[in-house]
Structure 1
């Protein structure tokens, strides 16, 4: 257990450093926002393109893997929705809580950390999780909130969702990388080195930015936020693990799926909550609580999947 914890400790050390820098106001929130933008649009995109350019499309898409992740994630989403509705929350707030229960920080934390800890074989499964989260569940929450506010589903709601998907740099970089791979084009040495240098900034930059963003968050609605954190850190990895076992997913890919599902609540859930004005405080607190507790839960999960 100690060895696994020590492997993950540097990643959380970078998060803690970002939190300390922002908390002491040495690194202001405006700087954190710009650092996040640099990582999102440049460093992480370079990393994802380089990863995808070295993949065969078959290595990214596995029907059993996708089905298992969707089944487990939808089950947790449904539980989150049901619990919220039982507490009398409107559909839009219930959907946002359900989103918290199963959208992990795969882009900024999962891609850099899991590939380092589990090796390059983890690239395909991690990118699959990231793609499903962005294309399926981010679209789902947006449709539900639009439908709730407009009194039903409208075709006009689909246009901004489509634009958001097409303009997402993580999706664009993965698609571009896969196209490059399918065309069997070699990466010229200068381009490969450029992407490697830029992509190398993704891990420290993303982790530092996560920590800096946490400094601005406050804990409120503790019972609700605690439940959302528990669902994300415990129920989600358990559900996808059971689904993967039942469907017969490869053991290594199952381990990667479980590790990705064990990640804390993603920051982009708060961006959606803030954009729509729905449950911002609960979502913000769930991100903070789940990230803090993941310092312990992620090493435990890594230990369990290592023994599976």
Structure 2
């Protein structure tokens, strides 16, 4: 347990550093989108490209990993939508709650952390999970989020959302970097020396900047939620219109937050573990190391970029931010326990 904790501690310490810097306003909140842009469009794609190009093509095209991960992701989405929809939580909020339960923080956190713990052979299964979540899980949840409209309007909104999600995938550099890495691995083409060194420098920057940015994003969400609540309280004192705004700005109850946190950190990895063992028992060529890798991917906290998606599509971003925050806090002790249990 202690050796695993010593490996994971710096990762969570960098998240805490980013959180503290943003809360103390040492890092201006206006600078956080710039950090996000650097990670999403430069550093992280280079990391994925480098891992993809250096991973045997068989590991990158492991159908058993894709099947187990895909079934579990879709099951989590369906389950969370089914049990969270209520009078307060419509399709929009339920869909993004499902996305935050099914989508781990694999890119920002999982790739460097799991490679550090499990070695370079973990890169292939990790890349498969990232590709599935970027292309399938995110698109499905965005489409579901548009079903709040009645009848044909809801279906039309879902189709528009699906097209918007597809456009988002096409302009996202991460799927393209994964595809390019797969092609380089299949063709056994080395990158030219200067290009390889440039990519390596950007890839090396991905982990610390991404982790620091996670903390800053979580702090910004907490600060904005507090300011929103304060302004709502002032508006409430001004009359009926204020009371309506205040009611809308109230924090989501814990009953809308904690079950999703439990699904993310407990039910999701357990489901992947059980289904993976079942797949092995049925004769699917799923290796034990690959199964351990994807179980640990599922045990990661929720992806921080879901908060930005929820804000863009008008969902309850305060609820999503609280889920991300608590999965990150609880994962500090729970993730090393999962690693120790699987490697024990």
TM-score, length of structure 1 as denominator length: 0.94
Paired with 1:3 and 1:138, the residues of 2 have a C-alpha distance of 35
| Kept after mapping to 1: 8 A contact 2:55/2:121 | no
Question: How far 1:91 sits from its partner (Å)?
Answer: 2.1
Question: How far 1:88 sits from its partner (Å)?
Answer: 6.0
The aligned residue for residue 172 of structure 2 is 168
Q: Deviations over 1:242-270 (max 9, x none)?
A: 11111112111111001100111111211
Query: What root-mean-square deviation, in Å, do the aligned CA atoms of Structure 1 and Structure 2 show?
Result: 1.7
Question: How far 1:90 sits from its partner (Å)?
Answer: 2.0
Judged with a 3 Å threshold, the aligned counterparts in structure 2 of structure 1 residues 145 and 54 are, in CA distance, closer, same or farther, namely same
Question: How far 1:215 sits from its partner (Å)?
Answer: 1.1
Judged with a 3 Å threshold, the aligned counterparts in structure 2 of structure 1 residues 292 and 59 are, in CA distance, closer, same or farther, namely same
1:5 equivalent to 2:42? Answer no
**2:187 is matched with which residue: 163, 183, 186?**
183
Paired with 1:211 and 1:157, the residues of 2 have a C-alpha distance of 29
The aligned residue for residue 152 of structure 1 is 155
The aligned residue for residue 246 of structure 2 is none
1:275 equivalent to 2:312? Answer yes
| Kept after mapping to 1: 8 A contact 2:301/2:331 | yes
Question: How far 1:105 sits from its partner (Å)?
Answer: 0.6
Q: State how 1:164-243 maps to structure 2 within 5 Å.
A: 164-218=168-222, 220-221=251-252, 222-243=254-275
Gaps of 5+ in 1: none
Paired with 1:75 and 1:276, the residues of 2 have a C-alpha distance of 23
Q: Which has the larger radius of gyration?
A: 2
Q: State how 1:1-308 maps to structure 2 within 5 Å.
A: 1-85=1-85, 89-149=89-149, 150-153=153-156, 156-218=160-222, 220-221=251-252, 222-248=254-280, 249-307=286-344
| Kept after mapping to 2: 8 A contact 1:72/1:242 | no
**Larger relative CO (CA 8 A, sep 6+): 1 or 2?**
1
Q: Quick check: 147-156 or 75-84, which moved more?
A: 147-156
Partner of 1:55, secondary structure, is coil
TM-score, length of structure 2 as denominator length: 0.85
Question: How far 1:22 sits from its partner (Å)?
Answer: 1.1
Partner of 1:278, secondary structure, is coil
Question: How far 1:159 sits from its partner (Å)?
Answer: 3.3
| Kept after mapping to 2: 8 A contact 1:109/1:206 | yes
Paired with 2:189 and 2:132, the residues of 1 have a C-alpha distance of 26
Gaps of 5+ in 2: 226-250, 281-285
Paired with 1:271 and 1:116, the residues of 2 have a C-alpha distance of 28
